[in-house]
């Protein structure tokens, strides 16, 4: 069917007077299929990003929708999500309102802990932020996630969040006061105060089911092969078409994804889709190196989101004359959460290069000198990721260093030297995060509770520099 569609397209073009057929019908058909597959990847990235996390929850952690995935300790390399924060306790409620109707997510008041987080739909569009930096302002609240087109009454005392999709999730970070065993346990206990249940069970003391992913390899990296399209097909089958996206209906149909029909590409089509996925990955990877604005004029640190995307995070990627498909497509290759209110609860900087502009090489040694008085109300963190997957470096014993790290050495002026490399500098093991000599890496520096001197750039984070 796919071949017939493409063959007719080529035949039609060939019949146009003056049309010069420089390629055979088969060659042109393949090129059209590849191009449409690449655009499908760019467009569908955030939904696939969500789906691969859901599949990892179901397959690896043995959980189900409408349960809370969480880590019962600080996550290490086994948390193979995209650039996760290794210095917090993660709790991720996955919702599906298709059969159960509205879902309630209760965020506890910030009386024994602190949660930073966002509730998102299946396209990773921010419905609302929660916690002290969110709409409840740390007082806690009952967030009511509504299915598409919901017209029922909203009970008093709930914060209503209409969703354009039946599926979605929340990314909640319970912030420990330090990396000590006692403080981590306290943050875990606070995260488990979250409640998650169908509205239909409100008033019956419904049980919240927590699924621990601490000891499993939770692989939610993006698959750049036929699995990407299988994931995208699951989304198309489960969710309504949004008006803004209906231009994609025929484009997806031409690569074999059509609502109400199975996705069953033949061997030749699978080969083309696999090839297109590889080409899309290369295109996205090149944009990852060049597509972000520098935060400082003379340093390599960038803001890890395109300006257009940053402006539309809060408005479902849309503005009157903007729909930032390219920006969100790139963002979904290396991150798994949007935010509603930018720069309030957290602020990120990213670097893939040293101060000389060279790629960060896992086989070399580097130092990052963090100046004193980092402008944060909570903590700062420097975390490492595999440049190829944007997930923590596999089998690394330590994946970050932060102001919460135990045994972190400070210099006499209050600054802190963080070391990255395959071997720890002698006497600096507590300030070192290991790299893999097998490839490149990238660093994300997080500011939780950012303050004015960061945003107005009177406090400056220096570049990562090579050391002998």
Parse the chain into domains and list their residue ranges.
2-57+222-285, 61-216, 291-466
pLDDT of the residue at 367 = 98
| 445, β-bridge pairs | 349, 382
Backbone torsions φ then ψ of 21, nearest 5 degrees: -85, 95
Residue whose structure tokens are 């996550």: 75
Distance separating alpha carbons of residues 276 and 288, to the nearest angstrom: 18
148: number of Cβ within 10 Å: 15
DSSP 429-466: GGGEEE--TTSBEEEEEEEEEE-HHHHTTSS-PPPPEE
* Token pair belonging to 226: 């036929």
Distances in whole angstroms, Cα of residue 205 to Cα of each of 105, 152, 195, 197, 210: 13, 22, 10, 9, 16
254: number of Cβ within 10 Å: 19
CATH code at 291-466: 2.60.120.600
Distance separating alpha carbons of residues 448 and 381, to the nearest angstrom: 8
Distance separating alpha carbons of residues 248 and 351, to the nearest angstrom: 34
- The whole-model pTM stands at 0.91
Name residues whose C-beta falls within 8 Å of residue 171's C-beta, 6 or more positions apart in sequence.
90, 92, 117, 118, 120, 336, 337
Which CATH homologous superfamily contains domain 61-216?
Answer: Domain of unknown function DUF1254 (2.60.40.1610)
Q: Which class does domain 2-57+222-285 fall in?
A: mainly alpha
**Range list of β-strands (E), 220-330:** 318-319, 322-323
**Residue ranges in 162-244 assigned as alpha helix (H):** 181-191, 226-238
Handedness of CA 376, 398, 114, 96 (dihedral sign): positive
| 193, β-bridge pairs | none
**Residue ranges in 303-443 assigned as alpha helix (H):** 307-312, 325-331
Distance separating alpha carbons of residues 179 and 172, to the nearest angstrom: 18
Chunk the chain into consecutive blocks of 10 residues (it has 468) and report each block's average pLDDT, rounded to whole numbers: 46 48 78 96 98 98 98 97 96 98 97 91 97 93 97 96 98 94 97 97 95 98 98 98 96 97 97 98 95 93 91 91 95 93 82 97 98 95 97 97 95 98 96 96 95 96 95
* Token pair belonging to 75: 């996550």
Task: Give the CA radius of gyration of the chain.
Answer: 23
Distance separating alpha carbons of residues 329 and 158, to the nearest angstrom: 33
**Residue ranges in 88-245 assigned as alpha helix (H):** 181-191, 226-238
Give the burial class of 285: count Cβ atoms within 10 A of its Cβ; 0-12 exposed, 13-18 middle, 19 or more buried: middle
Q: b or e along 32-44 (b: 16 or more beta carbons within 10 Å of the residue's beta carbon)?
A: bbbebbbbbbbbb
């Amino acid at each position: 069917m796919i071949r017939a569609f493409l063959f007719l397209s080529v035949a039609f073009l060939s019949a146009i007077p003056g049309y010069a057929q420089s390629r055979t019908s088969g060659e042109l058909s393949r090129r059209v299929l590849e191009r449409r597959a690449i655009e499908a990847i760019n467009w569908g990235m955030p939904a696939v990003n969500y789906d691969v996390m859901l599949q990892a929850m179901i397959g690896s952690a043995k959980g189900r929708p409408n349960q809370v995935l969480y880590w019962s300790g600080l996550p290490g390399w086994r948390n193979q999500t995209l650039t996760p924060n290794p210095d917090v306790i993660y709790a991720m409620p996955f919702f599906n309102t298709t059969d159960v109707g509205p879902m309630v997510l209760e965020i506890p008041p910030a009386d024994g802990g602190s949660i930073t987080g966002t509730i998102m739909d299946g396209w990773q569009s921010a419905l609302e932020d929660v916690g002290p930096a969110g709409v409840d302002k740390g007082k806690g609240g009952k967030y009511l996630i509504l299915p598409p087109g919901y017209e029922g009454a909203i009970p008093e005392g709930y914060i209503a969040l209409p969703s354009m999709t039946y599926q979605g999730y929340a990314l909640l970070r319970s912030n420990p006061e330090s990396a000590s065993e006692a403080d981590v346990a306290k943050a875990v206990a606070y995260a488990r105060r979250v409640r998650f249940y169908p509205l239909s069970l409100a008033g019956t003391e419904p049980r919240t089911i927590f699924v621990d992913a601490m000891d499993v390899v939770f692989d939610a990296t993006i698959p750049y092969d036929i699995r990407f399209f299988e994931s995208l097909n699951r989304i198309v089958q489960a969710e309504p078409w949004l008006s803004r996206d209906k231009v994609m209906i025929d484009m997806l149909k031409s690569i074999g994804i059509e609502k109400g029909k199975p996705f069953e590409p033949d061997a030749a089509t699978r080969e083309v889709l696999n090839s297109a996925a590889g080409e899309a990955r290369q295109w996205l990877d090149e944009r990852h190196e060049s597509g972000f604005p520098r935060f400082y004029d003379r340093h390599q640190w960038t803001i890890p989101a395109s300006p257009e995307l940053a402006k539309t995070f809060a408005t479902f990627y849309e503005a009157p004359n903007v729909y930032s498909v390219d920006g969100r497509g790139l963002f979904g290759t290396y991150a798994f959460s949007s935010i509603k209110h930018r720069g309030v609860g957290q602020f990120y900087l990213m670097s893939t290069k040293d101060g000389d502009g060279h790629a960060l090489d896992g086989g070399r040694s580097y130092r990052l000198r963090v100046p004193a008085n980092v402008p944060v109300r909570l903590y700062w963190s420097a975390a490492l990721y595999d440049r190829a997957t944007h997930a923590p470096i596999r089998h690394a014993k330590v994946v970050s260093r932060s102001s919460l790290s135990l045994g972190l050495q400070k210099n006499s002026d209050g600054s802190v030297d963080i070391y990255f490399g395959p071997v720890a500098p002698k006497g600096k093991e507590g300030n070192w995060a290991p790299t893999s000599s097998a490839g490149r890496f990238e660093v994300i520096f997080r500011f939780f509770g950012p303050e004015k001197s960061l945003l107005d750039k009177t406090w400056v984070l220096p570049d990562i520099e090579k050391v002998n």
